[in-house]
Amino acid sequence: MKTNSKLAVIILILGSFASAGQINITPKPAEMITKDGYFRLSVDTNIVCEPNCKIQAEKLRAYLQPATGFDLKVLSGQETSPGSILLKIDSSRNELGKEGYSLDVSKDAIRITSPDTAGLFYGIQTLRQLLPAEIYSDRLAGANWKIPCVTITDSPTYPWRGMMLDVSRYFFDVDYVKRYLEMMAMHKLNVLHLHLVDDPGWRIQIDKYPLLTQVGGFRDTGSDTYGGFYTKDEIREIVSYASQLNIEIVPEIELPAHCQSALAAYPWLGCSDKQFEVPTKCYISHEILCAGKDSTYTFLKDVLTEVAELFPGKFIHIGGDEVKCDRWTKCDHCNKKLKELGLKKHTKLQSYMTLEIEKFLMTKGKRLIGWDEILDNGLAPNATVMTWHRPKTAVQAAKAGNNVVMALTGHAYFDTPESKLPGEPPAATWLAPISLQKAYEWEPAPTALDADEKKFILGAHGCLWTDRFMHNPILQDLSTMDENRSFQYVDYLSLPRMAALAEVVWTNQDKRNFNNFTDRQTIQYNRYSAANYHFRVPLPNVEIAGPNSSKYTVTMTSPVNNAQIRFSTNGTYPTAYSTLYIEPITINDPQKISAITVVSKRQYSLAFKFPEDKNSKFSQYGEMIGQWKSGKISAGTYKPIQFDATGRIDKNGDYEITFIYTGGTQRLDIEKVEIIVNGKVIATDKHYGTTGGTNRDNVYKFNITKYETGANYTVIASVMGDTGNDSNGVVLIKKVK
């Protein structure tokens, strides 16, 4: 074992030297020419700049100081001197665009030039990636601070490169928002969409309507009260910080739906004047703003006036998604408005409201953006569409001459897990997992558009919804323990998929390659570690050869530079202390091998296992949603057992739930099965069924007609062991049509 440990150390050291000579930049630059030699960063290095880019020079100085310990001087000047870093605005380089840059590293000096400060900032981000990964640490690091000589010419493909952070369903303080902004800047993203308003919380101070935060900013009662909001000064602090990182903050003020928090504060905003509470669970509320009252529009204009004053950017997001119009059909005010406008459908009232708000925002120098439902009943002429679940809306909007941002559920909803592997944290299940490869392999501009129409596709947008915090209290911080588990959760879901999104929107499609991307990520993960980001560690790369004389040879490589691989060969789940992988393994049964990538004793991947035989004897009955076990059921008396079907019920249609006995001395008797959505029974099949030595009526059938996106679906079955509790089995669900 001593020999193996020494060999492992040698391998890690050699891996470190090998990676030091490579250049790994994410997102991948447009053009790069490598040269011989290095520039050595030292305490004597100066940063030279003109007054018009001193903010960027000070930012570079702040980036370099913690890890190096070098307190570099920022000097005024227009040209490099030996051992200096020059930042220069060069108006003759307009071909680069506002966010493009040129970076030239020689043995004597470094030059970053751009026609705008935005491009200089991105040149600085690339320069950081040319240094050892330790440069991202906030502590002194003993690295060799040399920068390879290179010439890079670079600019982004799309002008909109964004992320959405949902702070309504779970509130993140200013410090975390700043942390998230730095994470985005590292990847050259330039738009943070803050989801400030939704049913479960109103998160922005509005002076004219103080109850929006006093009442709408909090949910539940007593010791369970949860909430918070940003004061205007805190919003200004976030906006100022983002500006230094070339990031525009786009606030979202939802209307006319997803705003029950506002109705709880001011009931007169609704159609019925009924008093509401701020929801404690995530669901699609039918309570929406009244479209017929003039007071509704006065309220919205008052709110948006204060919002527009706080956010200097061009866009204000108004939501517009998932509007249930049934309250409008029964409302005297809405019916009167419908008649006044000469409209035939109540759904048209949303289009009227959107158009009114767009005209108002234009008087404030702002542009309206909303989810793709704003297309459905007529699109406001200058509105920007954020396409999320219907890609055809992007084509429709672009062909009409409206700008589009792509935030597709199939590629960019990062609140979904990356896989279905055991150990993934609770995440959205109404969508299929979005792997790193799926987050990478897509193009924002639809192929159905011609070259001129594609110009209306501004870019793409990753979304991180936080409704899981409402359904899984284990994700929430415990204030008594001064925790940051919520930060770690959002980090984990964001990284490394944020890097994939960044390359999609920055790098031209013909220069993108997933295998090349993952090769560069081996070093990017080291940067995440240095920055103390809690990223999702990738599984080991595992290959198998054989069988040869009934034996298989398994070879593994680490997807993270300098990380270890630990494994087991007896079917148990490996830990950070399991056997260290050093050389190929010979094994009789590949199903018993399991391996993890270990970055540290506290951070490691989920386990790699070879997939089981898909020809399962139960596959014809669908996917397993749970099982019952001996000793865990009632004997002789019907009692409920519960299973989570969220994600398995994913649309309207007919479903079958089947109970199959697998072992034990007693059969299982079933009295009835119910499907529950957010605590409400929506479907029941009540009949006597059994499963044991033989099966009798053990299939339960349901028709789902009002599927709710994002809702929790629970199956509750009333069961018992016929004469005892020694029974085992599985419960499966299948969509039949």
Rounded-to-integer distance, Cα 490 and Cα 184, Å: 13
For residue 76, the surrounding DSSP H or E stretch is strand 73-76
Q: What is the pLDDT of residue 13?
A: 34
pLDDT in tens, 507-519: 999 999 999 999 9
Backbone angles phi, psi at 553, to 5 degrees: -110, 125
Taking the CA atoms of the chain, what radius of gyration do you get in angstroms? 28
Rounded-to-integer distance, Cα 563 and Cα 570, Å: 23
If we measure between CA atoms, which residue out of 409, 495, 399 comes closest to residue 460? 409
With b for 16 or more beta-carbon neighbours within 10 A and e for fewer, the 288-297 pattern comes to: bbbbbbeebb
Tokens encoding 537 = 């560690």
Residue 610, number of CB atoms within 10 A of its CB: 14
Task: Say what the alpha-carbon torsion angle 33, 38, 42, 47 is, to the nearest 10 degrees.
Answer: -30
Rounded-to-integer distance, Cα 658 and Cα 700, Å: 6
Assign 663 to helix, strand or coil: strand
- Residue 434 near residue 418 (C-beta atoms within 8 A): yes
With b for 16 or more beta-carbon neighbours within 10 A and e for fewer, the 177-199 pattern comes to: bebbbebbbbbbbbbbbbbbbbb
Rounded-to-integer distance, Cα 599 and Cα 605, Å: 8
Query: Cβ-count burial of 597 within 10 angstroms (0-12 exposed, 13-18 middle, 19+ buried)?
Result: buried
Tokens encoding 434 = 């979005």
10-residue block means of pLDDT along the chain (737 residues)?
A: 34 36 90 96 96 96 97 90 94 94 97 97 98 97 95 98 96 96 98 97 98 96 90 98 98 97 97 92 90 98 98 97 93 96 94 96 97 88 93 96 96 94 88 94 96 97 89 64 78 97 97 96 97 96 83 94 96 94 92 94 93 66 88 90 88 94 90 91 95 93 87 91 88 91
If we measure between CA atoms, which residue out of 713, 717, 711, 712 comes closest to residue 684? 717
Rounded-to-integer distance, Cα 667 and Cα 688, Å: 13
Is 258 labeled as catalytic in the residue annotation? yes
Q: What is the pLDDT of residue 142?
A: 87
- Residue 111 near residue 80 (C-beta atoms within 8 A): yes
Amino acid at 488: Q
Catalytic residue among 99, 198, 415, 674: 198
Catalytic residue among 187, 258, 461, 534: 258
Q: What is the pLDDT of residue 349?
A: 96
Is 322 labeled as catalytic in the residue annotation? yes
pLDDT in tens, 271-286: 998 999 999 888 888 9
Start-to-end Cα distance in the chain: 58
Backbone angles phi, psi at 252, to 5 degrees: -115, 120
Tokens encoding 639 = 């009692």
Tokens encoding 431 = 């969508």
Amino acid at 229: F
Q: Distances from the Cα of 688 to the Cαs of 244, 584, 625, 631, 659, in angstroms?
A: 66, 55, 21, 22, 12
Catalytic residue among 90, 173, 234, 322: 322
- Residue 81 near residue 48 (C-beta atoms within 8 A): yes
- Residue 261 near residue 217 (C-beta atoms within 8 A): yes
Q: Distances from the Cα of 638 to the Cαs of 299, 579, 733, in angstroms?
A: 53, 47, 22
| Alpha helices per DSSP H over 149-291 | 174-186, 211-214, 232-244, 260-265
If we measure between CA atoms, which residue out of 237, 26, 240, 21 comes closest to residue 122? 26
HEC states along 491-521? HHHHCCHHHHHHHHHHCCHHHCCHHHHHHHH
- Residue 458 near residue 404 (C-beta atoms within 8 A): yes
If we measure between CA atoms, which residue out of 234, 184, 183 comes closest to residue 204? 234
Query: Cβ-count burial of 490 within 10 angstroms (0-12 exposed, 13-18 middle, 19+ buried)?
Result: buried
If we measure between CA atoms, which residue out of 503, 599, 714 comes closest to residue 29? 503
Q: What is the pLDDT of residue 313?
A: 97
Q: What is the pLDDT of residue 612?
A: 65
Amino acid at 306: E
Task: Say what the alpha-carbon torsion angle 25, 31, 35, 38 is, to the nearest 10 degrees.
Answer: -40
